[in-house]
Chains A and B, each alone.
Chain A
Amino acid sequence: MLAPLFTLKLKQKILPRRVTIGKFDGVNPNLACATAAGKVFIHNPFSGSQMSQSATSMSRLVTSEDLVPDLYYLNIGQQISAMGAGCLGADTKDVLFVGSQTHFLAYDVHNNSDLFYRECPDGVNTIAHGYIADCNVPLVFAGGNCSISGFAEDGEDKFWTVTGDNVCSLALLDYNQDNVNELVVGSEDYEIRVFHSDEMIAEITETESVTCLAAMNGSKFGYALANGTVGVYDRNNRFWRIKSKNQAVSIFSYDLNGDGVDELITGWSSGKLDARSSHNGEVVFKDNFASAVAGIVEGDYRRDGTKQLITCSVDGEVRGYSPANKDTSHNLMDNDQEQDLIRELSQRKNNLLLELKNYSENTKAGKEVGGLKLSATTDVDGQHMGIIPANTQLQTSLQVTTETESMPSHVQLLINTTNSTVIKAVMIFAEGIFNGESHVVHPPTNGITSALSVPIFPPKDVPIDLHVKTFVGHKNSSQYHVFELSRQLPRFTLYVQAPPNTQQPRSFVSFPVNERINRVVMWINQNFLLDEEVCAIAADTELDLRLMALRTGCPIFLHMVPGTITIHCEDIDLVGDIVQALAASLNIENMSSTANFPEFIEKLKEVLVKVDEFHNVRQKLTAEMADHSNLIRSLVVRAEDARLMNDMNSMKQSYLKLYDLNRDLVNGYNIRCNNHSELLACLKIVNQGIQKAGRLRVGRPKTQVVTACRNAIKQGDVEKLFKIIECGGA
């Protein structure tokens, strides 16, 4: 049994996912955690080095020897949303990074001074630190709303890119084994994207928001999703995943059993901590905290030359573990392997025996009813045992149904049996399309028949595997046969042929494709769920496809002549999806295109105007606030003076004024808050707009568009921005 090496009780609340460790004095590792009231505490158990010596009244650092020794507090004054630490320059000292919804702070703890303090209008959801390709200095990356920035020592953003949705997690690892790190980004739109420098080289679709990422040995990395899934990828190969009813708060890569390969350490919201083999997910160690785990880091907290695994819980309990030595490395848990193995094998044997018994009983039952007609048996015995004819089969079909008054457009999964047996219920397990992981259809007793239809509402255009389990039997059976089958829902399901008189949309994108039309036709037939197969007109020289998106009601016209595809559609998102899916299927690596989306541009223009307005309002409010705080200061002094002079009347007046002023301040604050959240929403739209423009291209041209758009926005050149969206960034 592996016991914790040390346990500390810091008696401080620790905010989940906001735990980091750094050698802030260049020598000793210190834990830094975000706690309530916008504060960060730094735990420095190595009292030899006094970092608080330089603490003055003006600095952020406050010591509090009275509460818990070795703890120092930093007042950030804002809700802290992310933490990190790392070395940025030639100096060996680590810098503490603190992110909030509006700012990014790089703080030199040892010298008690800001390294840089930057405004980050996109917010900071997560922080990562390290080297990436095409940049010779270490950067600190801040993942915000749809954007990622990489800051150098001087606070300049040397790196910037956009993603499809809010960034939840970041990791740096050598994904393609080229000896430079790639940036792996997990976001709220269920995607894991891999960036080599600012070019996206891979995209993996998961089934929920990707909340944590952890680099492991080589090209392996661990991930965790908001629905309690944890797993390990090696590049885009998933080694394993498990799903728990709890949420993984923090994941970390650490070699706990000393076998030379890192395990994936997971801290759960239930307070559980477990270590799983990166290869197959087998649990090699587990422990339990009294409250949820807040964060996992590693550092030499005992100053003995090794790095310990350090785990913090939200209640401020800290436990350190060191890797097991060789003798005990195979058995970190207090159990008897021999007995476990025997148990497992006998369980397997037992299951096989039970299955055999099932078959033999089946044959026996078959002999018993042998002579009788089946209809008779279903009446007598069928009720009880759920006997069904052996040739019972399930037929399934998928059908797109257009909107009716009671039901929005959906895909219908029709299931029916081939004889008189009935379907009691259907369970469908699929990820990403239902509220939970499953959807159940259980008709009322008087509505049970041999056919059943399940409406499915795919929320977005992704291919989905449906695992359908159907309970087949007789109306009053107490035992049912379970028919299991899988069906794949193609990527673009909710589309039908457009009615003949549909107008061609104004907006379009067109791009060169050096492929035979037949391949595109094939792709369409595989990825769309259309009533009739699509075919090219005039012997492989032209393709004209007119579709209607049922979800939005937008018509889509896809026109192809040899060499060029043109897609007409007002919905830029959808066009982007089609371009990306088509390019991936045709193995196109680089592709630029011309785009014309007047409506989209118009909207973007409005948003950009709004952004300017919000910026102005904010500046005005900030100035007002400064005025008010000056007034408050003088009023307090005046009131206090009046009190000393025993002039109660003017004191009262001063305090009344103060009260009014305070109310104004609170009001002002509320306005600022609203203003800020609206600003954030607008910025998100801008970032997503850039991303959408990028998605009309593939590979290098895509990256160029994103970078060029960013520069245009920085320079405030709106016309240039629109030009880039139209013609690409080159």
Chain B
Amino acid sequence: MEFHLSRIDLMTVGSTSLKSMKVLPNPPGKKIAQRIALGDHNGVLTCFQMKRSDTVVDFKTLPGPRIERLELGGAIGSLQEKIFISSGSEVRGFTKRGKQFLMFETNLSDTIKSMFISGPNLHITGQYIYNMYHNCQDTHFYLSCDKINDMIGIPGSGKEIFPVLGCQDRVLRVLSGSELLYEAEVPGAPETLALFDVMSGFGHNNLIYGTKDGIIGLCTVNKDNPCHRWEIANSNNLGGITAIETYDVNNDGVSELIIARDDGTVEVYSITEGQPKLITSKNVSESITSVGAGLITSPTHPDVVVATYPGHVISLTSEVKSHVAQNVISPSARSKLDDLKKDIEELKRQVLAEREKYQKSAGSDSAISAVVKFHVNDKFTLNPVDANYLLSIEIQMPIENVLLQCDVPIDLLDVERNSAVVSHSACDPEDKNYLLATYRCQANTTRLDVKVRSIEGQYGTLQVYITPRIQPKTCQLRQYQIKPLSLHRRTHIIDGERPMNALKLSGSFSLGEVHSWIGYCIPEVPDKCPSGETITMFFQSTFLDTQLECNYRQGSVEFKSDNISTISILKDVITKLATQKKIALNITYELCEDSIPHSLRLIHPKLDEQLLLAKKVQLIDALKELSMHEPNLDFLSPEYKDIIQNAEKLQAAFKLQPCHLERLYGMITDLYIDKFKFKGLNVKSKVPMLLEVLDNYELETLIDFFEISAV
């Protein structure tokens, strides 16, 4: 069935947080326009509905502390239409008429990050803490070992509710009361969780998770074990998942799955059978914070409603509006436009007056110039597929330009969806500048994505200055750490069979100190030191698939990795850190000779593939020319025929991985240098020979080269 979504802007509020908008449900059987409730960073809770394409505000609270979450609740069995908002450590409840009936100060010391309400029970989480209140009485408590991104309650078989914590270390933690039932590993850090209460043949206790790197999965949560049903990979490299909803948007009697992403994409999937199928998608070009669905602008055609980070509430209606086809502006819109124009005129006048006042103050010696710090919605995440970092920056107003500065060598890669003009400036490493680049944004851009390629071992800070297009002009500085082992990410299972090199450090350091060192070196280490005497963590290189195991306790730490370069980087960095703190370290290492051929064999398939690809791509043009001359290509070898047939695919794959080969060569060179560094030999002079071997690459000769040149 043909199904399209067209955009209607409903209203604008202040910037919004994740899960801060809900569509109030209709009583069963009724089909009337539904209300939308949302809370913004100005602390205003707004509840409104649409009446004949006019926005009618039911109520609006006064500005206050910023609202982080908004959930719906109500007595069990009744309509869930009571509105709960959280700001700071406080939860407030409102009826749909706007009457405040609850004001509850929780005993949480930090800000409430997520909230779930079931009847008289209020579940909340802070950064690491889960708390449950029964009728505002503190009942259950759990301390998670990594940051909690989201939490939701899954109804069990009876009345009981299993809270599920989506944690940063890529684990779903299922609780019962204050106890951890079990952990379930998911393919990415879960950003948002949603109940999946659709007749699907999987039962009722299902949960959908969306990860920061854009993967969606369905998981059945039982009392004793999880069961993964399906997973949608992020093959098109879209943004991270920020909100999930299920609703029958195309009126076919079956619910669809609605996914919203931080790059502004909204996707609708049909979930009638097995693996979900994409029906339609739409981009609103601002990162989405919440998604809902219901009858909003029309009593017959359901809408998908999204709230965006800059505070726009947008309806994506399935109805085809007649005026679009005729291309005339409807009278109601006309009056809306006139109102807007009037407002703008009035505001312009005020702004002019204020601007003058501000400029006058420049003459006074005692006056100051202070501009409010604007909020930046940013993300700096490692994409495990291509081992590059994605830096996304979004602000509430249009961006004028962004300056990137880095004190270590990194590469910036082009992101297709950017329209900003990039310009690299000459830089002098003596001023600690390895990168100076400006991105000049086109008008009305509120979002910028930049891909960053880092090199392991080269660590430093990426500094970003963001200048919005608004008077008085200011810019904000954001800093992002590029860690020594920047391409590693946390994992929970490793292969114990591999030949491992080990590095042992001991000295008089505390557990907290060694934890902070590890956090300095490797990404995805929780800020807080996990409890326990001995801590074990596993990591995996997203580029080479080599692994790293860290075991540490007070006074000693042991690293094990099959990649000798990883060990070498850790040794260098940690010794440096310890020297800074004036802690004497006792260093021992065990090198495993087998690990070198093993690492090379791990690289081999990647290198081989890249070399073959490069060779094939080189041939494409020549073969195409040949095919122009010759009407019949039967005489070509099957290999060449294959190249001609798949020319486009090959070229696309080649384009996708720029400099991949150089990166692999760099890794092999590092491996070579590091191997001999541990033996106390400097082999930098032999690197040209190594590159020669690589030019005529064969796995065995390379392994031999590593062996022979030991002498």
Contact = CB atoms under 8 A, between A and B. Distances in A.
Contacts of B711: none
A365 interface: yes
Interface of A: 12-13, 35-37, 39, 64, 66-67, 73, 228, 243-245, 327-328, 330-331, 336-339, 341-362, 365-366, 369, 374, 377, 381, 384-393, 424-425, 427, 429, 434-440, 442-445, 447, 469, 471, 477-484
B471 A435 contact: no
Contact of B477 (A39, A337, A353, A478): A478
Given A337-B329, A435-B424, A435-B426, A12 B9 contact: no
A230 to B, nearest CB: 13
Nearest to A364: B370
B369 A438 contact: no
B372 A361 contact: yes
A303 to B, nearest CB: 28
B310 to A, nearest CB: 8
Main secondary structure of the interface of B (DSSP, over half): mixed
A281 to B, nearest CB: 11
A267 B431 CA distance: 41
Given A439-B426, A469-B467, A479-B475, A365 B370 contact: yes
Nearest to A229: B421
Interface stretch (B30-38, B105-113, B351-359, B696-704): B351-359
Given A366-B370, A435-B426, A444-B431, A245 B474 contact: no
Contacts of B62: none
Nearest to B53: A338
Given A347-B398, A385-B372, 17 more contacts: A12-B628, A66-B631, A336-B324, A341-B337, A342-B336, A342-B337, A352-B344, A354-B397, A374-B368, A386-B474, A425-B405, A434-B423, A436-B422, A471-B465, A479-B474, A480-B476, A481-B371
A50 B433 CA distance: 66
A425 B368 contact: no
B52 interface: no
B440 A438 contact: yes
A262 to B, nearest CB: 22
A482 B474 contact: yes
Contact of B8 (A13, A339, A389, A480): A339
Contacts of A346: 9, 12, 312, 340
Contacts of B310: 350
Interface residues of B, number: 86
B364 interface: yes
A336 B7 contact: yes
A243 B398 CA distance: 18
A49 to B, nearest CB: 24
A67 B444 contact: no
B426 A357 contact: no
A228 B421 contact: yes
B414 interface: yes
Interface string B339-356: 011011001101100110
A344 B414 CA distance: 28
B401 interface: yes
Contacts of A331: 327
A562 to B, nearest CB: 48
Contact of A351 (B369, B398, B401): B398
B97 interface: no
A385 B469 CA distance: 18
B371 A437 contact: no
A243 B443 CA distance: 12
A418 to B, nearest CB: 11
Contacts, number: 245
B140 interface: no
B220 interface: no
Given A337-B329, A338-B330, A427-B438, A358 B369 contact: no
B405 to A, nearest CB: 5
Nearest to A36: B625
Nearest to B358: A359
Nearest to B321: A336
B425 interface: yes
A342 B474 contact: no
Interface string B423-454: 11111000111001110100010000000000
A369 to B, nearest CB: 6
B159 interface: no
Nearest to A345: B340
Nearest to B334: A338
A356 B625 contact: no
A67 B470 contact: no
A481 B369 contact: yes
B368 A245 contact: no
B369 A480 contact: no
Contact of B444 (A244, A339, A347): A347
A437 B421 contact: yes
B362 interface: yes
A479 B373 contact: yes
Nearest to B324: A336
Contacts of A67: 628, 631
B361 interface: yes
Q: Which of A37, A352, A425 has the most CB of B within 10 A?
A: A352
Interface in B387-428: 396-398, 401, 403, 405, 414, 418-427
Contact of A362 (B369, B397, B621): B369
B363 interface: yes
By CB atoms of chain B within 10 A, which of A348, A374, A390 has the most? Answer: A390
A540 B324 CA distance: 72
B493 interface: no
Given A354-B470, A389-B369, A392-B369, A328 B327 contact: yes
Contacts of B351: 352, 355-356, 359
A340 to B, nearest CB: 9
Nearest to B372: A361
A64 B397 CA distance: 58
15 contacts: A228-B421, A245-B420, A345-B337, A346-B12, A348-B344, A351-B397, A352-B350, A359-B351, A362-B370, A385-B372, A391-B364, A391-B365, A436-B424, A482-B467, A482-B473
B44 to A, nearest CB: 13
A483 B5 CA distance: 44
B369 A330 contact: no
A315 B367 CA distance: 63
A347 B9 CA distance: 11
A393 B9 CA distance: 42
A478 B476 contact: yes
A352 B474 contact: no
Contact of B12 (A35, A350, A387, A439): A350
B629 interface: yes
Of A348, A384, A477, most B-chain CB atoms within 10 Å: A348
Contacts of A443: 431
Interface in B673-697: none
B657 interface: no
A390 B367 contact: yes
A39 B405 contact: no
Interface string B660-674: 000000000000000
Contacts of A39: 628
Nearest to B330: A338
A221 B365 CA distance: 53
Contacts of A339: 6-9
Contact of A390 (B311, B368, B621): B368
B461 to A, nearest CB: 10
Contacts of B423: 434-438
Contacts of A365: 368, 370
Task: Identify the interface centre among B327, B397, B424: most chain A CB within 10 Å of its CB.
Answer: B327
A349 B341 CA distance: 9
B492 interface: no
A45 to B, nearest CB: 19
Contact of B327 (A330, A342, A438, A480): A330
A344 B9 CA distance: 11
Contacts of B420: 245
Contacts of A366: 361, 367-368, 370
